[in-house]
Each structure stands twice: as C-alpha cells, then as structure tokens.
Amino acid sequence: EIVLTQSPATLSLFPGERATLSCRASRSVSTYLAWYQQKPGQAPRLLIHDTSSRAAGVPARFSGSGSGTDFTLTISSLEPEDFAVYYCHQCNHWPRTFGGGTKVEIK
C-alpha cells in the first residue's frame, strides 16, 4: 500500500499569504496525484488532478507540482474561503490512498 505523508499537519497563515503544502509518497506514483479541499460539514472537492491540472472552476491561485514521490500544492495568495483541510490522493496503485490532510487555518 502506498502511504502518503502530508506536511505540515497544520499551517497557520494570514489572508493574502502564500501557502505551500507537501505530500510525500512511500514509492513512486508517477503523476497520478490529486488534491482535494474539504470544508467543515462538506464533501471533498477536487482541486488538482494529474499533479498539476486544475479541475473545472478552480481558481488560478491554486497550483500543483511534483512527480514520483514528492508533490506540492501551492495557494499563491490565500482568500478567506481557502481556509480548509487539504488532502492528497494517489491513483497509480491499488488500494487507492489518501494523505492524512493539512489544515490551513487563519492566523
């Protein structure tokens, strides 16, 4: 099973700041890596697929990069609605797995 390790667990930032979230895989997942955003009481929302492709309707301030075992989600300038939990997800191997999440909170 591929283990995805996200860091940091919590990121405390001000609106307008840049957020950098990390996801490390226990072995290569090629570029089959996605990012989801989840707000309290809501279902996850797909933000990024194939490492760097934004899903429909996702603002350009969200970007993804990486390959193999190391991936990054960057939010260039945090808006109030971006404070949420973010999960990475690999779709290269069965079973599919998710990272433990990074909570982006308002400082």
Partner 1 sequence: EVQLLESGGGLVQPGGSLRLSCAASGFTFSDHPMGWVRQAPGKGLEWVSSIGSVGDATLHVDSVKGRFTITRDNSKNTLFLQMDSLRAEDTAIYYCARRTNVWLDSWGQGTLVTVSS
Query: Which is nearer to partner 1, 44 or 68 (by Cβ)?
Result: 44
Query: Which is nearer to partner 1, 17 or 63 (by Cβ)?
Result: 63
- Is position 55 an interface residue for partner 1 (rule: CB under 8 A)? yes
Burial 3-36 (b: 16+ CB within 10 A, else e): ebebeeeebebeeeeebebbbbbeeebebbbbbb
- Is position 42 an interface residue for partner 1 (rule: CB under 8 A)? yes
CB 80 within 8 A of CB 73: no
60: Cα separation from own chain's centroid: 14
- Is position 39 an interface residue for partner 1 (rule: CB under 8 A)? no
Write out the DSSP string of 64-86.
EEEETTEEEEEESS--GGG-SEE
Site for partner 1 (CB under 8 A): which residue of 2, 21, 34, 84?
A: 34
Query: Which is nearer to partner 1, 66 or 99 (by Cβ)?
Result: 99
Q: Which of residues 61-90 bind partner 1 (CB under 8 A)?
A: 87, 89
Q: For the chain, what's the residue count?
A: 107
Residues binding partner 1 (CB under 8 A): 32, 34, 36, 38, 42-46, 49-50, 55, 87, 89, 91, 94-101
